[in-house]
Structure 1
Amino acid sequence: MPEGSGNTMPPMMPPHPGLDMISDNYDDLKKKCPAFASGCPYAKTEEFNTLAASVGDISKCPAFQEGCPFSDKSKEELAVLIESVPKEHPLINPHELPSCHEGELLVQALNAFLSQIRQESDIILDGHAHKQADAIEFLEDPQLAGAMREGTKAVHKAAENSVFTKRFLRGQINRDEYGRYINSLYFVYKYVCSMEALLEKHKEHPTVKLIYFPTEVNRKQSLLQDLEYYYGKDQVPDLIALDKMTPAVREYVDAMESACAKNPALLIAHSYSRYLGDLSGGQILAKRLKTHIFHLSEKDAEWDTTEGLNFYHFEAIGNVPEFKEMYRERLNAARVDAATRDLVVTEAVKSFQLNIALFDEVEELSQKKLLAPTLLRGEIKFPDPAELPKSHEKRSKKSWTIATSVAVAVAAVAVGALIYKRVQKA
């Protein structure tokens, strides 16, 4: 449509040579197309109310500034060109372009051509992937679990020697510190780019799928339950808002996302350090919480409670030692080459370092008195075991004194009654 022509209908384009055979003869498409001889036929359209015009400023499309980009290319070159179209490129419905019948036919033909090219490309890429996989020298017995255990010994020791961990093991942390700790872990486990979200995303990866056990180990619900216990349901949404993510937690989450971008297999390093840690050392920490936060003894009926301690309770796992052994066997059977194994071990070391930074951050926030206060709840408190004998002795003496007094009083009344009766008889 000429510029400034108002409602004047555009002149009809000359018939396209060879359009009837376009799906079979691509040479006809690249020869001489009248519709695109002077650039894109849509470039000067004034039908701005159509879908074609609404998807963007099509008059500035670089592909057609110098004529039809298909007119001088072979089938292979056309395939490369079409494959280079970005995925976010807006789609155009040819039926929204009634003013250019030839353009509509061309779009339809190119759509069909694109589908064919992509199918052929997928076959080629798939075959190439198989060839690459065949070329990789996978380790027959990578012993990945053992490699990570050996590779993380030093940093594991460093984690145990952090101030926060030492205080935790001694039973010296308070409720607010533990609340902040599991608040941080919530982001590590369940943030949109967290460990469990990434494991879900890459669960079909041949290495990741070996250790993907969402039903058995996922911690989302348990962490939420514990946060609600310590802070109340009304306060939790604010605590887990993304803008409340602390620097150490943000670094942890970003590191996992970065590792996954390099190779999804690196996720197993984070899964290993967290889940196996929760199933091993985490059980010791749970006992410290029961003893020093809840003031329970193993002899108490409430000792097996999970209230406030759901994070360490793996209900879907029957026999924990057997599950851990199976988990390690799966890791040892991972199909990796030597380079990938080394990368996984390095990532496992980094995972421990990230956890240490998280511990240190909780300790620092506590020292600066920047922790959100947890709720004060009525707890069943038991006296210090060392004081029990003394307390028991006091209660026994008191009970004996009361019993003796009552007995003496009863005896006195009885004697008095007997004397009274004798006096009356006399």
Structure 2
Amino acid sequence: MVAHDQAENASFITRLMSGAGTADGLVALLRQSLPVYEALEDACRSVGADPRLSAILDPRLDRTEALRADLATHAAQGRACSTVVPTVEAYVSELRACVADPAALIGHHYVRYLGDLSGGQIIKTMVRRHYGIEDGLSFYEFDIDKPKVYKDAYRSALDALPLSESDRESALAAASRAFELNHRVFLDLEAAGIR
């Protein structure tokens, strides 16, 4: 998927992962993530009983409280970010609109949480290695013993969701938009001079 490749290879994230960024860049990324996860998790709670997605919802995936705790930890260490880039507002609006289209929420849920369970683990390892950060990384920590087994079970549950063809199209389109929005967040951070 082109949108996925663009997001994964954006210069902001590749710089952060290679050690050419800064710890402040990580904090800025966490700051952008907070309103996105607040909106995603609010939407999931609003439509959580809908059988089209109830089987993939799991409170162990929720990230809002971990993000708040991480940002407080970084602020206590003198690293804070008040900037919220414009794309985050568009992202939040899209997630709020998913309450009216729960099938679209499936695409966003998949991209965010499976990304956190996969690439997020790599980000955590790399920022520890490059920037010496040990605290303020609970966003990347899940109460899940075997992430690979969990991800496989998630994908199986996803495949078994009772979706119509139009639901599937809506979920796939939303997943593509989620990757695109993530890429645009990285571009906005880059444009803001955040490294």
- TM bucket (normalised to shorter chain) is over 0.9
Supply the AA of the counterpart residue of 1:231.
A
Question: CA separation in 1, counterparts of 2:6 and 2:85?
Answer: 22
Please say if residues 70 and 139 of structure 2, whose CA atoms lie closer than 8 Å, have aligned partners that are also in contact.
yes
Deviations 1:204-223 (A, max 9, x none): 01112111101x11112211
TM superposition shift of 1:160: 1.7
Aligned length: 195
Please say if residues 85 and 189 of structure 2, whose CA atoms lie closer than 8 Å, have aligned partners that are also in contact.
no
What SS class does the counterpart of residue 192 from structure 2 fall into? helix
TM-score (ref. length: structure 2): 0.92
Of residues 118, 125, 142, the one that matches 1:280 is 118
Of residues 99, 117, 127, the one that matches 1:260 is 99
Please say if residues 177 and 366 of structure 1, whose CA atoms lie closer than 8 Å, have aligned partners that are also in contact.
no
TM-score (ref. length: structure 1): 0.44
Question: CA separation in 2, counterparts of 1:160 and 1:185?
Answer: 16
Of residues 174, 178, 181, the one that matches 1:347 is 174
Counterpart for residue 51 of structure 2: 206
Larger mean Cα displacement after TM superposition, 324-333 or 250-259: 250-259
Question: CA separation in 1, counterparts of 2:78 and 2:26?
Answer: 19
Of residues 86, 106, 109, the one that matches 1:247 is 86
Q: Which runs of 5+ in 2 are unaligned?
A: none
Question: CA separation in 1, counterparts of 2:129 and 2:84?
Answer: 30
Question: CA separation in 2, counterparts of 1:339 and 1:345?
Answer: 10
Which structure has the larger Rg over C-alpha atoms? 1
Counterpart for residue 10 of structure 2: 162
Question: CA separation in 2, counterparts of 1:197 and 1:234?
Answer: 30
Q: 1:209 to 1:155 in 2, by over 3 A?
A: same
Please say if residues 111 and 178 of structure 2, whose CA atoms lie closer than 8 Å, have aligned partners that are also in contact.
yes
2:137 paired with 1:309 = yes
Counterpart for residue 404 of structure 1: none
Of residues 215, 222, 228, the one that matches 2:66 is 222
Please say if residues 283 and 312 of structure 1, whose CA atoms lie closer than 8 Å, have aligned partners that are also in contact.
yes
Higher helix proportion: 2
Please say if residues 103 and 168 of structure 2, whose CA atoms lie closer than 8 Å, have aligned partners that are also in contact.
no
2:12 paired with 1:182 = no
Please say if residues 266 and 343 of structure 1, whose CA atoms lie closer than 8 Å, have aligned partners that are also in contact.
yes
Question: CA separation in 2, counterparts of 1:234 and 1:164?
Answer: 22
Of residues 231, 238, 261, the one that matches 2:75 is 231
Deviations 1:269-302 (A, max 9, x none): 111001000000111111110111107xxxxxxx
Question: CA separation in 1, counterparts of 2:78 and 2:52?
Answer: 40
TM superposition shift of 1:246: 3.1
TM superposition shift of 1:229: 1.5
TM superposition shift of 1:228: 1.0
Aligned positions of 1:399-414 closer than 5 A: none
Supply the AA of the counterpart residue of 1:331.
L
What SS class does the counterpart of residue 277 from structure 1 fall into? helix
Deviations 1:128-159 (A, max 9, x none): xxxxxxxxxxxxxxxxxxxxxxxxx2211111
Q: Which runs of 5+ in 1 are unaligned?
A: 1-152, 296-304, 372-426
Coordinate RMSD, CA, aligned: 2.1
2:157 paired with 1:319 = no
TM superposition shift of 1:235: 9.5
Aligned positions of 1:381-396 closer than 5 A: none
Q: 1:257 to 1:223 in 2, by over 3 A?
A: same
What SS class does the counterpart of residue 172 from structure 1 fall into? coil
Supply the AA of the counterpart residue of 1:266.
A
What SS class does the counterpart of residue 366 from structure 1 fall into? coil
TM superposition shift of 1:334: 0.7
2:158 paired with 1:331 = yes
Counterpart for residue 108 of structure 1: none
Question: CA separation in 2, counterparts of 1:361 and 1:331?
Answer: 32
Higher RCO (CA-CA < 8 Å; seq separation 6+)? 2
Q: 1:258 to 1:200 in 2, by over 3 A?
A: same
Of residues 359, 376, 389, the one that matches 2:186 is 359
Identity %: 30
Question: CA separation in 2, counterparts of 1:255 and 1:229?
Answer: 29
Q: 1:187 to 1:230 in 2, by over 3 A?
A: same
